[in-house]
Amino acid sequence: MRIAVNTRFLIKGQLEGIGRYTHEICKRMVENHPEDEFHFFFDRAFDESFLYGPNVKGHVLLPPARHPYLWKIWYEWAVRRKLRKIKADVFYSPDGYLSLKAETPTVLVIHDLAFKHFPEHLSKQIAKYYNQNTPKFASIADKIITVSNASKNDIMNSYGIHEDKIDIVYNGVSPDQFLASFDKKKLREKYAFIAPFFLYLGAIHPRKNVVRILKAFEKFKSETNSNHKLIIAGRKAWKSKEFENTLQSMQYESDVKLLGFIPDDMLKELMAIATALVYVSLFEGFGVPIILALAHKTPVICSNRSSMPEAAGGFAKEVHPESIEEIAAAMKYYTSPNNELKDYGAIDTHLATFNWDLSAEQTYHILSSYSH
């Protein structure tokens, strides 16, 4: 079988969101199915480590597709031509885009429709592109994969797609993403200069609701006089000016630590000893940091919207994301004595659902149905 894959988000040292999803799924499919031929489509020079086996061939298709106008050229010209040239049996596209004119059967991953619900969080040009084209992509795709029941229902209701056309393939937790065993005391000593702390993991932009996390932390500090810090681990994305202004106006600005994008080894250690993960996005297709925290048996404060309760499985303190008071109260809850996660066996049972090995085989099963 000849499987073509859109791998333009496989960027060395920057595996976030779609890039991580693509990496975990494709690595396993390549290794588990050496009998098949994989063709990876990049839009710029790529790192050889992303060619996961001798049965993979990497192709650089130009132009680099990082802008709406160039997206259209890349998919409708470069991708379509290459699919025809290599005679692919199926095209797997994990980033939500496809070629409207390609004749190759396409399996499309739509992670969420955040752009539809919060277009103001994007530039007008990008929001227009998504809202004009995603309904077309969803309609023309031979099969749609999404990452949660919440996203599946949203796609069905928004675009009138029949439920049989959409399969759920969850995000997972891989062994290299969490510490299987660790000494909390030693880790706390290592990070004594910032401990104890709450942790936010993710990019900084309006949909992630980081401004309200800052305001809730300020309220928590003023009401408790706690020595807790707030660690924000993630890059500044778009529209971060309100975040910067809010931070500069805070009484407790010095207790907020901006680490930017951090390496996996450091992330795992911080996740293991955080008082709680604070992840209160206005909207998420899934919410990977939630299951990463639970894998470390770290308490979670998450939004009660979209897919986040599904990811948390009842093992989080759920809050209304627009309520600074509720977020601050949850912070107080987890700094009170004895309010730690305890039901480890039930958590492990819940996390078994989110398994990259299972997700990769589910994806391969879908792709293999297009084998000639």
Range(s) of the domain holding residue 8: 2-172+355-368
Claim to verify: residue 298 and residue 189 sit in the same structural domain: yes
Residue 106 and residue 247 in one domain? no
* Own/partner long-range contacts of 136-140 (Cβ < 8 Å, ≥24 apart): 136/100, 137/96, 137/97, 137/98, 137/100, 137/108, 137/110, 138/108, 138/110, 140/98, 140/100, 140/106
Tens-digit pLDDT profile for the chain (372 aa)? 999 999 999 999 888 889 999 999 999 999 999 999 999 999 999 999 999 999 999 999 999 987 888 999 999 999 999 999 999 999 999 999 999 999 999 999 999 999 999 998 888 899 999 999 999 999 999 999 999 999 999 999 999 999 999 999 999 987 777 777 788 888 888 888 888 999 999 989 899 999 999 999 999 999 999 999 999 998 877 678 899 999 999 999 999 999 988 888 899 999 999 999 999 999 999 999 999 999 999 999 999 999 999 999 999 999 999 999 999 999 999 998 877 777 889 999 999 999 999 999 999 999 999 987
3-state secondary structure 289-314: HHHHHHHCCCCEEEECCCCHHHHHCC
Shared domain for 7 and 154, answered yes or no, is: yes
Same domain assignment for residues 92 and 180: no
Q: Model's pTM, two decimal places?
A: 0.91
**Number of domains observed in the structure of the chain:** 2
322 lies in the same domain as 231 = yes
Same domain membership, residue 232 and residue 217: yes
Output the domain CATH number for residue 237: 3.40.50.2000
Do 329 and 180 fall within a single domain? yes
